[in-house]
């Protein structure tokens, strides 16, 4: 299991290595067609002019006559019913599996003194019918397999010890396990027999019960596999007499239960046991199971280094039960269970030599529909009730505190621990600032959980080299999270949502201490952009995976990454590379032979990007899957990436013909707009006057009406910013004109053609008895309102020349309300400067809520002199 996970992590390097090995293998070990009379097979030459022959799957009815140079024969998956022809005398390997052989007559293996491996699996042989002398010439046979020959589990099969006793060199025996199978006294003659495979996984097995004397005469066994044998009971001390026993597998005997562990492990301390596998010894369905101290007490003084308790519905361990595990234990696996938190977690620190801990794949559901019709009933443990399950908290397994805790947490793990598998383990939490006390930890697998925010920093991970944190629904990673990840070489963070955090990392603080990083996977993270310095501290980086993000512009500086081998930008939104990026890539093309994957991006194919397309053509050998590249829908030119050279030449020709047209058109447009801008800038006031004179003529002709009173005056003018016109029309005009009979001067309504001229502003003030200033944030930014305020201030002081108004419009002057009144309306969240507040001693605040506040409008009406009587 450990090797499989490592292979997945180093996929790129491993695939490259495997390709090289495969090519070398095929070049040296090719198979050629060969014939033996009318039978056509394939052969391979091996040293000393000898042959390996493969005649498998050819529907042969009989065994061909082979030449004397054949030493290896594969006749599997044919229709052979009996062994009639003799094999070459020097043959060492015979595979007759998956045929229809029903019996062995005479001496089918006569003279095969050098045969080492004989495979008779999946035939119709009844080993009860084997006779003495059938194996007499197999003096060198070391491996014999009869698996898959029992068709009826009810029929008892006799294992004749006098027949198998002839195999004096036998080391491995693979045989079906029939009910009440025994291995008689003559098996004691097999002094080399070390491996016994009775497993129902690779054959048929229905032992039901294993007695204490079953292996009495197999004293030299090193490996025993009785997995999936429908075992209901194992007698006490069955395996304790096998002094040389190192590997014991009792897995998938689902009705044994943990209650059988004391019998299984009795006196194992007297053996050489190294590995104990007890996976799936509980039923598929039911309440969670528990390991008690009594279940493990026989293991304490053994030399076991690996223990597997996977697929057992394991939910709890009795406190201090883990302390009974042997001191030499280096690997323990609780994978595919349903572990919940409990006091047993504290006991992990007592496993002083543990190197690998597996708690992955928690709460994986049992197979459907088998689990529905399961009639399994595991052995009960009458002492289980002594331990109160309610003492433990039934919650998803997690070593991490919730956000509400503010303690400086340290997770205490065995210092010898090197590999922690916690993938798919229902870990649900933020990762707060905490520490991991495991100086030996090198590999950390916590993918497929719910670690939704990586806050950190996490101390104690300086020596971790491989970390997989993918698919954790994480939406935030802090800039200090990886501060202590100084030794990490492989970091996988794919299938999260940390794109926003990475986009905001302008100075490259997230990865500032990961200087040893060689492989970084950030695929499927919704990354929109990356800053120039995000990877500035990664000189050793070799593989960067950014597949399936939203990156549209490449700004990342990579000149310092002299070891970079591959950048995966597949399935992004890149249309081109800017010149700086191209130069950086070119440098790495020369130093590290960099490969880039731009497939499933929408490359922009146009004259504007012709230099980019020419650059790709020049360096096409550095772009993976280049023939699959496509132009974006907005492209103005066609470009066939299957033939980049021809497409590049054609693009140049098309762009040349249009170049002169573009230049002429651009020059004409520039000249035209230059003239227009010059006229507008230099003659703007003259143009304004002419324009408004023309508008006034049209206004007089078409009987323009306004809201002036009969004598041409207004009761008040409204001073407002142009962006606030909707407020004036929606609230001010209805409340003061309709409700209180005021005649208001509203510039956009009553004189929409007046520009920002002194005369226009002066006339609006002159024809109004009062001014109401709506001071908003827009008002303070408006240039026109600056002039209006200056004019209002001067008008309140009396009559001053227009030129003097413009010169002194920023002065702080005291107002005079004898002839002209100014009212300031202050809007919410607006700070009024002194030059405006000096105009009105009683500033009125506009309410934050509704613009139809009656109290506010009555206050404003009274400030302007009350209702106007018509």
Q: Which long-range contacts (CB under 8 A, 24 or more apart) does 659-667 make?
A: 659/607
Residue 781's pLDDT band (cuts 50, 70, 90):
confident
- Three-state DSSP at 53 gives strand
**Most confident segment among 75-89, 392-406, 417-431, 512-526:** 512-526
b/e for 757-771, b at 16 or more Cβ within 10 A?
eeebbbebbebbbbb
Angle, vertex CA 596, rays to CA 594 and CA 600, nearest 5: 175
The pLDDT mean for the chain works out to 84
Q: Which residue has the higher pLDDT, 697 or 372?
A: 372
Instruction: Output the pLDDT for position 818.
Output: 43
pLDDT digits (tens, 9 = 90+) for 492-530: 999 999 999 999 999 999 999 999 999 999 999 999 999
Residue 694's pLDDT band (cuts 50, 70, 90):
low
Instruction: Output the pLDDT for position 760.
Output: 75
Residue with tokens 């550095």: 622
Instruction: Output the pLDDT for position 154.
Output: 64
Instruction: Output the pLDDT for position 247.
Output: 98
Instruction: Output the pLDDT for position 805.
Output: 41
Beta bridge partners of 428: 450
User: Using an 8 Å Cβ cutoff, are 240 and 264 in contact?
Assistant: no
What is the secondary structure of 732-744 as a DSSP string?
A: IHIIIIITT---E
Least confident among 419-428, 448-457, 472-481, 826-835: 826-835
Determine which helix (DSSP H) or strand (DSSP E) holds 119, and give its type and residue range: strand 117-119
pLDDT exceeds 50 at position 115: yes
User: Region 635-649: what's the mean pLDDT?
Assistant: 88
DSSP conformational letter for 178: -
Cis status, amide bond into 88, omega within 30 of 0: no
- Three-state DSSP at 161 gives helix
- Strands (E) across 686-820 are located at 716-719, 744-745, 770-775
DSSP conformational letter for 549: S
Residue with tokens 């908003």: 776
* CA separation for the pair 615, 121 (Å, rounded): 61
* CA separation for the pair 439, 47 (Å, rounded): 50
- Three-state DSSP at 217 gives coil
* CA separation for the pair 698, 706 (Å, rounded): 15
Residue 586's pLDDT band (cuts 50, 70, 90):
very high
Q: What is the 3-state secondary structure (H, E, C) of 435-476?
A: EEECCCCCEEECCCCEEEEECCCEECCCCCCEEECCCCCCCC
pTM of the predicted structure, to 2 decimals: 0.67
Return the structure tokens found at 157: 């099969």
Return the structure tokens found at 754: 């007046």
How far lies 834's CA from each of 721, 806, 837, 838, 839, in Å? 19, 19, 5, 6, 9
User: Using an 8 Å Cβ cutoff, are 301 and 328 in contact?
Assistant: no
The CA radius of gyration of the chain, in Å to the nearest whole number, is: 44
Beta bridge partners of 247: 223, 275
Least confident among 10-14, 679-683, 684-688: 10-14
pLDDT exceeds 60 at position 447: yes
* CA separation for the pair 289, 255 (Å, rounded): 13
Percent of the chain at pLDDT > 70 equals 84
């Amino acid at each position: 299991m450990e090797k499989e996970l490592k292979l997945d992590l180093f996929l790129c390097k491993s695939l490259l290595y495997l390709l090289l090995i495969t090519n070398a293998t095929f070049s040296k070990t090719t198979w050629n067609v060969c014939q033996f009379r009318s039978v056509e097979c394939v052969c391979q030459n091996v040293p000393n002019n000898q042959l390996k022959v493969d005649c498998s799957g050819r529907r042969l009815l009989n065994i061909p006559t082979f030449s004397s140079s054949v030493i290896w024969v594969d006749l599997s998956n044919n229709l052979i019913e009996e062994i009639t022809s003799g094999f070459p005398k020097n043959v060492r390997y015979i595979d007759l599996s998956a045929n229809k052989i029903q019996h062995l007559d005479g001496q089918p293996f006569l003279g095969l003194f050098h045969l080492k491996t004989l495979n008779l699996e999946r035939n119709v042989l009844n080993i009860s019918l084997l006779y003495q002398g059938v194996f007499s010439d197999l003096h060198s046979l070391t491996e014999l397999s009869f698996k898959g020959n029992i068709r009826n589990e009810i029929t008892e099969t006799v294992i004749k010890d006098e027949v198998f006793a002839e195999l004096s060199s036998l080391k491995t025996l693979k045989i079906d396990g029939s009910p009440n199978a025994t291995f008689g006294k003559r098996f004691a003659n097999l002094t080399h027999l070390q491996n016994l495979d009775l497993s129902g996984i690779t054959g048929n097995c229905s032992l039901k019960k294993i007695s204490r004397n079953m292996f009495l005469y197999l004293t030299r066994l090193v490996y025993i596999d009785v997995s999936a044998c429908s075992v209901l009971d194992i007698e006490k001390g069955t395996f304790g007499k096998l002094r040389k026993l190192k590997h014991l597998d009792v897995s998938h005997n689902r009705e044994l239960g943990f209650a059988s562990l004391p019998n299984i492990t009795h006196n194992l301390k007297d053996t050489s046991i190294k590995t104990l596998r007890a996976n799936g010894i509980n039923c598929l369905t039911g309440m969670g199971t528990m390991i008690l101290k009594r279940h493990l007490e026989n293991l304490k003084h053994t030399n076991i280094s690996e223990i597997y308790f996977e697929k057992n519905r394991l939910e709890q361990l009795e406190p201090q039960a883990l302390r009974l595990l042997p001191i030499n234990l280096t690997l323990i696996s609780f994978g595919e269970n349903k572990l919940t938190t409990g006091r047993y977690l504290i006991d992990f620190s007592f496993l002083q030599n543990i190197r690998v801990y597996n708690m992955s794949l928690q709460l994986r559901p049992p197979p459907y529909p088998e689990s529905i019709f399961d009639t399994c009933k595991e052995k009960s443990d009458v002492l289980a009730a002594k331990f109160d399950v309610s003492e433990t908290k039934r919650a998803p397994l997690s070593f991490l505190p919730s956000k509400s805790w503010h303690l400086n947490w340290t997770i205490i793990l065995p210092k010898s621990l090197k590999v922690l598998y916690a993938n798919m383990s229902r870990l649900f939490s933020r990762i707060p600032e905490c520490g991991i006390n495991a100086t030996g930890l090198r590999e950390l697998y916590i993918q497929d959980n719910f670690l939704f925010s990586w806050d950190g920093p996490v101390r104690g991970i300086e020596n971790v080299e491989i970390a997989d944190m993918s698919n954790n629904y994480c939406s935030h990673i802090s800039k200090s999270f990886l501060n202590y990840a100084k030794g990490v070489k492989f970091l996988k963070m794919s299938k999260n949502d940390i794109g926003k955090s990475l986009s905001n990392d302008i100075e490259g603080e997230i990865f500032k201490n990961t200087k040893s990083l060689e492989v970084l996977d950030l695929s499927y993270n919704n990354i929109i952009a990356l800053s120039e310095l995000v990877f500035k501290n990664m000189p050793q980086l070799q593989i960067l995976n950014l597949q399936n993000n939203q990156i549209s512009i490449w700004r990342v500086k990579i000149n310092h990454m002299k070891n970079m081998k591959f950048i995966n930008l597949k399935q992004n939104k890149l249309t081109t590379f800017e010149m700086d990026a191209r130069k950086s890539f070119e440098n790495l093309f020369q130093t590290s032979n960099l490969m880039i994957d731009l497939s499933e991006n929408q490359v922009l194919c146009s004259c504007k990007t012709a230099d980019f397309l020419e650059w790709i053509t020049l360096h096409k050998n550095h772009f993976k899957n280049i023939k699959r590249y496509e132009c974006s829908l907005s492209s103005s030119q066609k470009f066939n990436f299957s033939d980049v050279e021809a497409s590049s030449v054609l693009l140049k020709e098309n762009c040349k013909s249009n170049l002169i047209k573009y230049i002429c058109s651009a020059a004409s447009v520039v000249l035209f707009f230059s003239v227009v801008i010059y006229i507008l800038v230099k003659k703007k006031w003259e143009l304004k006057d002419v324009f408004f004179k023309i508008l006034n003529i049209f206004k007089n002709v078409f009987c323009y009406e306004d809201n002036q009173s009969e004598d041409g005056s207004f009761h008040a003018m409204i001073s407002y910013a142009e962006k606030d016109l909707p407020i004036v029309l929606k609230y001010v005009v209805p409340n003061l004109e309709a409700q209180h009979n005021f005649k208001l001067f509203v510039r956009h309504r009553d004189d929409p053609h007046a520009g920002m001229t002194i005369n226009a502003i002066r006339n609006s003030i002159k024809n109004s008895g009062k001014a109401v200033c709506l001071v908003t944030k827009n008002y303070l930014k408006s240039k026109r309102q600056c002039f209006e305020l200056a004019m209002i201030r001067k008008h309140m002081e009396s009559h001053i020349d227009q030129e003097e108004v413009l010169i002194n419009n920023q002065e702080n002057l005291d107002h005079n309300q004898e002839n002209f009144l100014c009212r300031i309306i202050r809007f919410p969240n607006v700070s009024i400067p002194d030059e405006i507040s000096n105009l009105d001693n009683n500033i009125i605040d506009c309410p934050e809520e509704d613009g139809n506040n009656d109290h506010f409008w009555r206050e404003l009406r009274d400030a302007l002199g009350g209702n106007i009587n018509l």
